[in-house]
Structure 1
Amino acid sequence: MSAAEEIPMLEQLRLLPWTTPEGKPCYLSTDGGGSKLSLLADDVEAAQLDSGEQVLTGSRAVLADPKAGERAVRFALTRAAESLQDVLRVAASRGRRVHRYGG
């Protein structure tokens, strides 16, 4: 299969909210959102978004504390970067599904 043939196929797949151990994206091929794996992905996405909100709150608290040391700031920034990566993956996955189903 050529690279040009792979793109339409990837558009039909759901980008999952996790990666392989090597950091590569995982995809799900399904006709609907009711499969067990699809529902698990929905739950993981919801948990990632909730975690992102918590990380944002914590990061803002660290940044507002003039006594916060470098270690605290680096920790907050590291968690924020991880959360942003998760949220961007969720947004990409949901955007592809909205586009595909015309929503």
Structure 2
Amino acid sequence: MTGATAPGGGRRLLPWSTPDGRPCYLLGGGGGRVSRLADEAENAQLGMAAELLGHAGDMLGDRRVTRDQLRYLAARLAESLHDVHRVALSRGDRLPGPERFDEGEGGTAAAEG
């Protein structure tokens, strides 16, 4: 689901932060330029994570790898995991939950109160 916000026109967690580390959100319909940039950034982050996992597998199988190289790998893996976690949260927030299904679709609607 590309370019979508949370059902009901909510907010989308973006794949970048403010300079001081706070999360950024997109409000509105989600079909504009910022939404497309966010989609591209998420896809790049997921692609880099896949490449890093392959590299990690190679390094962990090599007995000549140094402690410093493993420490560098661990730091990059942690950064990548942070990015992938943010993508998962963003995309998960945009999925319809059970309370959002229409009764005509075989689901039930839950009301707060």
TM-score tier after normalising by the smaller chain length: 0.7 to 0.9
Hey, which bits of structure 1, 4+ residues long, moved more than 3 A?
none
RMSD across aligned C-alpha pairs, in angstroms?
Answer: 1.7
The offset of 1:34, in angstroms, is 1.6
1:93 is aligned to: 90
Which TM-score applies when normalising by structure 2? 0.75
- Whole-angstrom CA distance in 2 between matches of 1:86 and 1:53: 12
Match of 2:36 in 1: 39
CA drift at 1:30: 1.6
Measured in 1, the distance between the counterparts of 2:61 and 2:96 equals 39
Question: Which residue identity is paired with 1:24?
Answer: R
- Describe the superposition over 1:40-78 as per-residue Cα deviations: whole angstroms up to 9, x where unpaired: 000000000000001111111111111100111011111
Question: Quick check: 1:51 aligned with 2:51?
Answer: no
Partner Cα separation in structure 2 for residue 23 and residue 70 of structure 1? 29
Which residue number corresponds to residue 109 of structure 2? none
Total equivalences in the alignment: 91
Q: Where do 5+ consecutive residues of structure 1 fail to align?
A: 1-10
Question: What amino acid is the match of 1:27?
Answer: Y
**Residue of structure 2 equivalent to 1:14:** 12
Q: What is the match of residue 82 of structure 1?
A: 79
**Which has the higher relative contact order, 1 or 2, with Cα contacts under 8 A spaced 6 or more apart?**
1
TM-score for both structures, normalised by structure 1: 0.82
